[in-house]
């Protein structure tokens, strides 16, 4: 024999209360989402033509004016300042090319923005000794030898 408890809630009423508990807050959530703060759009800025130079894919010439590589990437530090350039070097018709990194200070940019010549102080023979660039490994860059102070005597010749 089953004894009915006076404070028991019938199943239909329980379902109705549960349904209201779930559905009733939805209009409030939709209204809150619609009133979310928006951010201001980015401003457009015009940079004069000829005042910037596209680097990626540009030829890099050696000290004798011969094309020795192409710029593939620019590596920057945490402040956004260029530290090194990754170059495609060597090969013939795309076969045998390898990527190397050179210190940013090893590159010279022509003042003439129209030609945009990029010159590297290393010739092809010097670049052969530079290890291949590994994006996940330690960064090894070809760097120019530190120059002597202006008042230092020239190195002795043998």
pLDDT tens readout for residues 49-68: 777 778 888 999 888 888 88
pLDDT surpassing 60 at residue 74:
yes
For the structural domain made of 59-128, what CATH number should be given?
A: 2.30.30.240
pLDDT of residue 54: 81
Which of 82, 77, 60, 81 has its CA nearest to residue 130?
A: 60
Mean pLDDT of 120-149: 82
Distance from C-alpha of 60 to C-alpha of 117, rounded to nearest angstrom: 7
26 falls in which pLDDT band (50, 70, 90)? low
Report the predicted TM-score, pTM, of the whole model to 2 decimal places: 0.61
Q: How far is CA 67 from the centre of its chain?
A: 25
Domain locations in the chain? 59-128
């Amino acid at each position: 024999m089953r004894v009915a408890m006076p404070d028991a809630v019938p199943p239909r009423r329980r379902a109705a209360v549960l349904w209201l508990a779930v559905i009733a807050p939805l209009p409030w959530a939709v209204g809150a989402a619609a009133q979310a703060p928006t951010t201001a759009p980015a401003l457009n800025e015009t940079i004069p033509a000829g005042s910037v130079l596209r680097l990626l894919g540009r030829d890099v010439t050696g000290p004798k004016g011969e094309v020795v590589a192409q710029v593939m990437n620019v590596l920057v530090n945490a402040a956004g300042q260029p530290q090194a350039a990754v170059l495609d070097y060597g090969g013939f018709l795309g076969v045998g090319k390898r990527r190397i990194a050179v210190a940013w200070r090893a590159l010279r940019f022509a003042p003439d923005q129209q030609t945009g010549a990029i010159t590297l102080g290393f010739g092809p023979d010097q670049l052969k000794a530079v290890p291949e660039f590994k994006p996940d490994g330690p960064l090894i860059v070809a760097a120019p030898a530190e120059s002597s102070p202006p008042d230092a005597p020239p190195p002795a010749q043998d």
